[in-house]
Structure 1
Amino acid sequence: MNPTHKIMIVDDDPNICEIVQAYCEREGFLCSHSHNGSEAMMMLTSFKPDLILLDVLLANENGIDWCRNARSYTNAPIVFLSSREEDEVKISALSYGGDDYVTKPFSPGVLMAKIKAHLRRVSTGRNEQLLELPGLTLDFYAQSVIMGSETIFLSKKEFGLLAYMAQNVNRVVSVEALFQLIWGTESLEDTRTVAVHISNLRKKIEADPAHPERIVTVRGTGYMLVARGGT
């Protein structure tokens, strides 16, 4: 059974938060809410919502700017709630990371239907976005690796390196191939930067980064992601 979907509401109007939360909980969703952007940003990393309802005009802050910053930490759908109906505001909201725009006053029933539609869209093909190996699972949607009960978020380049090695598990991948894949031919970097990112990756997924057992160095050639049963 899938866990309950988590909805985060970010609105400086307590009445809106209360009403929306009541409707969400009636649908079986788990809710959390915040009235300001800084608090909401902290909540984002602890609550890890599946969907965010966000007011365009927060107290002392622009919700669109908050959305743009939040995109560094989450891929969850963001549905804007706003009393602003100008096209330029809607375009800006959707251009900087928003997935939908609902104007106030809104029908709670329509809002719930939109929420469910976005959650279905995210869930569709979710299993196809997971690559399971013995001891670790790569989540291509969240750009993270799951090890046991722990989820570890990676940078874009770290995840790219790990994903390529995972798709070639237990096979040696050359440094040159990794460099071309992640940095490309036009990069001003050189292949030594691969070693730096591999080192950072090991710090996140190895029990003992100084003596790696998952990402092993094949001297003179490259690296190999080792995945064996029971590891």
Structure 2
Amino acid sequence: MDTHKIMIVDDDPHICEIVQVYCDREGFVSTCSHSGSEAMELLASFEPDLIILDILLANENGIDWCRNARNLTSAPIVFLSSQEEDEIKISALSYGGDDYVTKPFSPGVLMAKIKAHLRRVSTGRREQLLELPGLTLDFYTQSVNMGNIPISLSKKEFSLLSYMAQNVNRVVSVDTLFQIIWGMESLEDTRTVAVHISNLRKKIESDPADPERIITVRGSGYMLVSNSTSQA
């Protein structure tokens, strides 16, 4: 099981220390930043799974920081604040926050909220994975792995493979693939489908000349089969 990473952004060292102690007890990896500018730099390198954010940072507004951070991360953001006004809560949640906890707070309740958000994110990520024998598609990152080996695909190649994967063991016509991936008004020729299928086979087949994953059904189209015997 992966260890979750928690980033705490609060200019109060005492608050940071308390939250980090409880994060450690839960087995989380945590880091703390005392300013918004420092936290923004840390965001890219630490890549947190969840952020705990003070709404009033020294010389900075936590809501503004949250709004800017949303350009860099989709991790849940839980606000900490001594302010209880509904207008502030609404603003915090409207500009990218996922939860709002008022100070003084119960560390146990905060940890429960953190775990609930992490479960929600983990469930959502699992739903964005499509796994076939020896082949895993990640619709969130638009990436493909054969076993543990990442496969580099173009956007069109990924779109073709993902559509066939969602219709695994079913024949998909060339016209359908062309319309779905390139669109009705495309100036491309339907023969471009065959070119992209050929390129896909070079990347995911052990023997592209004798394909076992993407097979041609003459007169009908192509089919991605899930019972491939090829090895990743």
Coarse TM-score class (shorter-chain normalised): 0.5 to 0.7
Q: 2:186 matched to 1:190?
A: yes
Structure 2 equivalent of residue 55 of structure 1:
54
| Contact 1:55/1:63 (8 A) holds in 2 | no
Number of the residue aligned with 1:121: 120
Q: Distance in 1 between matches of 2:103 and 2:127?
A: 36
Q: Give, in whole Å, the separation in 1 of the partners of 2:212 and 2:68.
A: 37
Asked if residue 137 in structure 1 is aligned to residue 136 in structure 2, the reply is: yes
- Determine the C-alpha separation between the residues in 2 that align with 1:48 and 1:153: 23
Alignment deviations for residues 33-63 of structure 1 (CA, whole Å, 9 cap, x no partner)? 33434313313xxx44332223334555622
Structure 2 residue runs without a partner (length 5+): none
- Matched residues in 1 for 2:98 and 2:180: separation? 29
Q: Residue 176 of structure 1: CA displacement?
A: 5.4
**Counterpart for residue 71 of structure 2:** 69
Residue 126 of structure 1: how far off its partner (Å): 6.0
Alignment partner, residue 39 of structure 1: 41
Deviation of residue 93 (structure 1)? 2.7
- Alignment root-mean-square deviation, CA: 4.6
Q: Give the number of equivalent residue pairs.
A: 215
**For residues 42 and 203 of structure 2, what CA distance do their matches in structure 1 show?**
32
Distance 2:158 2:92 in 1: 28
Residues 179/145 of structure 1: CA separation in 2 closer, same or farther (3 Å cut): same
Kindly indicate whether residue 28 of structure 2 is the aligned counterpart of residue 29 of structure 1.
Answer: yes
Cα distance change, pair 68–48 in 1 and its aligned pair in 2 (3 A): closer
For 1:91 and 1:154, locate their aligned partners in 2 and report how far apart those are by CA, in whole Å: 41
Task: Mark the structure with the bigger radius of gyration.
Answer: 2
Corresponding residue for residue 81 of structure 1 = 80
Show CA shifts across 1:68-108 (max 9, x none): 2134xx3x322222344333332233233322111233221
The residue identity in structure 2 corresponding to 1:86 is E
Q: What whole-Å deviation, never above 9, does each CA across 1:100-133 have from its counterpart, x for those lacking one?
A: 1112332211101111222233344765543212
Report the 3-state secondary structure (helix = DSSP H, G, I; strand = E; otherwise coil) of the residue aligned with 1:39. helix
- Partners in 1 of 2:172 and 2:96 — Cα distance? 35
C-alpha contact (below 8 Å) 1:79/1:102 kept by paired residues? yes
Q: Counterpart of 1:112 in structure 2: which amino acid?
A: M
Task: Among all aligned residue pairs of Structure 1 and Structure 2, give the percentage whose two residues are the same amino acid.
Answer: 65
Amino acid in structure 2 at the alignment position of 1:23? Y
- Cα offset, 1:66, TM superposition: 2.8
Q: TM-score, normalised by structure 1?
A: 0.64
SS at match of 1:70: coil
Question: Quick one: distance in 1 between partners of 2:79 and 2:152?
Answer: 26
Give the SS at the match of 1:116: helix
User: Quick one: distance in 2 between partners of 1:157 and 1:105?
Assistant: 52
Q: C-alpha deviations, 1:154-205, integer Å up to 9, x for none?
A: 99988655432221346664565456556877xxx7364x97xx98xx89x9
CA distance in 2, matches of 1:120, 1:113: 11
Gaps spanning 5+ residues in structure 1: where? none
TM-score (norm 2): 0.63
* Structure 2: distance between partners of 1:178 and 1:10: 47
TM-superposed deviation, 1:151: 6.5
Distance (whole Å) between structure 2 residues aligned to residue 151 and residue 57 of structure 1: 42
What amino acid does structure 2 have at the position aligned with 1:99? D
Give the Cα–Cα distance (whole angstroms) in 2 for the partners of residues 33 and 172 of structure 1. 53
The answer on 1:20 being equivalent to 2:14 is: no
